[in-house]
Amino acid sequence: MEAVVLSFFTFLSTSLGGIFALRNRDKLHLIMSLTAGVLMGVVFFDLMPEIFSLATKRGFDVTPSLSFIVIGFLFIHILEKLALIHSRRHETEYAPHSHPTIGLIDASGLSFHSFLDGVGIGLGFQVSPHVGFIVAFAVIAHDFSDGLNTVTLMLRHKNSIVKSAVLLLVDATTPILGAVSTLFFTIPDNILMLYLGFFAGFLLYIGASDLLPEAHSEQSSYKMIALTITGVLFIFIVTRFT
């Protein structure tokens, strides 16, 4: 039950991150610069080390997980392009036309990751209370950026504030559901490694191919570069000291 109780703090952390993004949506390009750095940091300082750690501890071949990075990258690339092709076919019927479906796809992927964050907390407590608390603290610390990322991706693709708030609520709730689910099942480490690889590719695509180009599409400044670096350093600090 400790996992379920602590998962409520992830709800608060995620919600605060999303509310911050909603209240500062007039500075969306600056937020996207920060978010891109955060996503890159999560990939290289959180997901990748976890993959190699599991491979070392369990004696697994790391190649399948690395392959799933490519699969995850291509999967979200194909989904976005298919949604874009569909939207362009209707641009002559509905003008002006935006692409909110892409934002829904990206934000839904982050919500699934948040669900597995809750699963991670629950599985940590199955190992020991000490491990459980460490995992919970790490999740709570980076869930602020999860809420920030969810709202940023929704607004970047011209979704309404109401839809963005709904996806924020989903993202904030899923860790609780993930923690509750671990009362009934466990995830084999070899499957978890594949998921981590897939999600790393997902985040790489969003950060490098979606957020960064959009953030610098209208203006570029040293402040935006500094925010991207700050996002990377934030995750580095969180992962090194939790």
Q: What is the DSSP letter of 187?
A: -
pLDDT tens digits for range 3-28: 898 999 999 999 999 999 898 878 87
Short-list 42, 50, 52, CA closest to 235: 42
Q: Is a pLDDT exceeding 70 seen at residue 87?
A: no
Taking residues 62-84, report their average pLDDT.
87
Q: CA-CA-CA-CA torsion for 217, 236, 118, 147, nearest 10 degrees?
A: -30
Q: What's the pLDDT band for 92 if we cut at 50, 70, 90?
A: very low
Do residues 111 and 173 lie in contact, with contact meaning Cβ atoms separated by under 8 Å? no
C-alpha distances (whole Å) from 174 to each of 62, 111, 146, 160, 214 are 28, 7, 12, 21, 28
Q: What's the pLDDT band for 165 if we cut at 50, 70, 90?
A: very high
In whole angstroms, what is the distance from residue 13 CA to residue 164 CA?
A: 16
* Confidence (pLDDT) at 14: 93
Do residues 96 and 90 lie in contact, with contact meaning Cβ atoms separated by under 8 Å? no
Taking residues 59-76, report their average pLDDT.
94
